[in-house]
Amino acid sequence: MVEFFRKLFSTDIFMPHGMCFAWDPGVLWLNVVSDSLIAASYYAIPFLLFYFVKKRRDVAFNPIFIAFGAFILACGTTHLLGAITVWTPAYRLDGLVKAITAAASAATLAMLIPMMPALVKLPSPSELAWANDALEKEVGERRAAEAEVRRMNAELEQRVAARTAELAESVALQKHAADSLRLANDDLQREMQRRHEVEDQLIHAQKMEAVGRLAGGVAHDFNNLLTAILGYTELLHGRVEQDPDALEYTAEVRRAAERASDLTNQLLAFSRRRPASPQVVDLNRVVRQIDKMLRRIIGEDIDLEVRLAPDLWRVMVDPAHMDQVVMNLAVNSRDAMPDGGKLTIETANVRLTDEYAAGHLEARPGPYVMMAVSDTGIGMDTATQGRVFEPFFTTKEQGKGTGLGLSIVYGIVKQNAGGIMMYSEPSRGTVFKIYIPAVEAPVPAALAEGEEGDRGLRNATILLVEDEDQVRKLARAFLERQGYRVVEAASGPEALKTLEEYAGRIDLLLTDMVMPQMNGAALAERVKAMRPEIRILFMSGYTEVGVEIPELLSGEGQFLQKPFSASTLDRKVREALRG
């Protein structure tokens, strides 16, 4: 044993490592100082790991921390010996330490491999936060509904008790007692009728929400397919320019896909999943801007009257969405007056009272801007009124309408926290009243965008993340045709790994919103933490939480609606790169 240690530390037959450096002071001390600093750092890391394990005994992966600490400690010793052997050639000891380091690294690897599936499945903080927020929201809604029912029951019991007391007090006078009983019964019937109306509104709202979720999900999946169809049709169009028949065929395919895209966008509007760009708007200005267009659409046999309230309050909405609301309601009124009539559009400032809100499930007391669209058309019966906002429901003959016009109006109004009321009688006409919450803010001035400097943007490098292979390949083809450099990934984790390994500069993250394992918002947050200078561009067939994403709310991120063309993709990429 003594002989073993004597040989282990023996330096007789070896030459110092310094001779390899020709005893050059600069090279020698550069290596000695570097190895010493590395060894000091390696010795400090295990102590931090052991301290963490001691403090956090609840962590399920403690053994791997201990093994990794031992491995780092051994690595530090090898670097320490690297500095010593410059003058003292204890190479046998150096080799023994390296063998121990190799054993420690192999043991760490063996422990880490079976743990990888469990590590990969760990939920991210953003996923846990999203689940908690959704649960809290659902619990809050249910508690609010229960509180409303309890309040109504308590109010009903109080009214019954009050009327019963009045009846008992007037028992001596039969006539007065009969009158009091009749009044109590009338009030009770009205109260029960109001309760039934509120219950009907709740059932209708739940039904519309269920249909909206179904429509939004279908539209999302369909938009991915349409993105590939429209995109590859556009690429094919450039390849068959010399073949007239092929050009006609591709044009027909593109027109059919565009009609399908319009339909899916209408479904997204109804389901309240189409991203909006809300801003402070004067509804009077919206009506004035489309006044001439409305007159051309409704025809000369219909008299259009516009009554705009002075000093109208402002609302926070997407102006394009409100244009569509006015247009859809006007077209619906035009179709209800085949022989001509009168169409009236008016605005007003209103305040909804507590009493009004109690009789309307989704109404809240406060200041609102009201816009009413009324006609003198054929009107609707009760059965039709109960289904008028359902998607694809129409009373027109086949081929004359999609049944989505009023559904889109309903979705846009609800998306802006508003309410819509309808009053109609057969042969008496119809009135739609829209209520949008008022805001206290000035209307912003229009901003102009410049195109300078776009040529330099063509050299940008884009990290493209999309789980659908067809859409990812198409987007890459579009981008590379415009001169961009593209690095692609099929999922959020793969994108993070690519970002860690890619040494060059990445200027833009172009990511889908809805992906397995990690959604686009969570990926953007991780990427921003790794490379704060990267611009963000989201894309999706829909996003239910699109307007709640911090990057979109702060203006740091852009949004691209699927399906998209090559020119639309290029424009949105340039806008995102310009910031």
Residue 289's pLDDT band (boundaries 50, 70, 90)?
confident
Residues 6+ apart with CB under 8 A from 20: none
* 403 and 481 inside one domain: no
**Could you tell me where the beta strands, DSSP code E, fall in 202-337?**
279-281, 302-307, 314-317
348 within some domain:
yes
368 within some domain:
yes
Residue 273: the pLDDT is 47
Q: What is the mean pLDDT of residues 358-379?
A: 85
For residue 208, pLDDT over 60 is answered with: no
258 within some domain:
no
Residue 100: the pLDDT is 84
| Cα–Cα distance for residue pair 120/106, rounded to 1 Å | 21
Q: Sheet holding 535-540: strands in order across?
A: 485-489, 461-465, 508-512, 535-540, 557-561
Q: What is the mean pLDDT of residues 161-175?
A: 78
What is the chain's mean pLDDT, rounded?
Answer: 78
128 within some domain:
no
CB neighbourhood size of 451 (10 A): 9
| Cα–Cα distance for residue pair 362/389, rounded to 1 Å | 16
Residue 74's pLDDT band (boundaries 50, 70, 90)?
confident
* 424 and 497 inside one domain: no
* 394 and 466 inside one domain: no
Model pLDDT for residues 89-109, shown as the tens digit of each residue: 777 777 788 888 888 788 877
pTM over 0.85? The answer is no
Residue 8: the pLDDT is 62
**Could you tell me where the beta strands, DSSP code E, fall in 444-549?**
461-465, 485-489, 508-512, 535-540
Q: Which domain holds residue 421?
A: 279-439
More confident residue, 244 or 137: 137
Q: What is the mean pLDDT of residues 1-28?
A: 71
449 within some domain:
no
Q: Which of 103, 120, 137 is the last residue of a domain?
A: 120
Task: Tell me the CATH number at 483.
Answer: 3.40.50.2300
Residue 432's pLDDT band (boundaries 50, 70, 90)?
very high
| Cα–Cα distance for residue pair 293/297, rounded to 1 Å | 6
More confident residue, 290 or 123: 290
Q: What is the mean pLDDT of residues 227-247?
A: 71
249 within some domain:
no
Residue 200's pLDDT band (boundaries 50, 70, 90)?
low
Residue 543: the pLDDT is 43
Distances (CA, A) of 563 to 48, 166, 230, 553: 51, 67, 7, 23
Q: What is the mean pLDDT of residues 109-118?
A: 77
For residue 477, pLDDT over 70 is answered with: yes
* 458 and 433 inside one domain: no
Q: What is the mean pLDDT of residues 515-536?
A: 91
**Could you tell me where the beta strands, DSSP code E, fall in 353-414?**
366-375
* 290 and 417 inside one domain: yes
Q: How many domains are there within the chain?
A: 3
* 89 and 112 inside one domain: yes
What is the Cα 216 distance to its own chain's centre?
13
* 418 and 285 inside one domain: yes
Q: Which of 88, 103, 120 is the last residue of a domain?
A: 120
Q: What is the mean pLDDT of residues 510-538?
A: 91
231 within some domain:
no
For the chain, give the percent of residues with pLDDT over 90. Answer: 18
For residue 124, pLDDT over 80 is answered with: no
Residue 352 has, within 13 A of its CA and on its CB side, a CA count of 22
* 386 and 287 inside one domain: yes
- C-beta separation of 409 from 328 below 8 A: yes
| Cα–Cα distance for residue pair 536/543, rounded to 1 Å | 16
For residue 507, pLDDT over 90 is answered with: yes
Which of 103-117, 120-134, 534-548 has the weakest average pLDDT? Answer: 534-548
Give the helix/strand (H/E) hosting 449. none
* 337 and 484 inside one domain: no
* 287 and 313 inside one domain: yes
* 512 and 427 inside one domain: no
Residue 448: the pLDDT is 38
Residue 271's pLDDT band (boundaries 50, 70, 90)?
very low
227 within some domain:
no
| Cα–Cα distance for residue pair 516/493, rounded to 1 Å | 10
Q: Which of 406, 439, 472 is the last residue of a domain?
A: 439
* 289 and 431 inside one domain: yes
Q: What is the mean pLDDT of residues 326-331?
A: 87
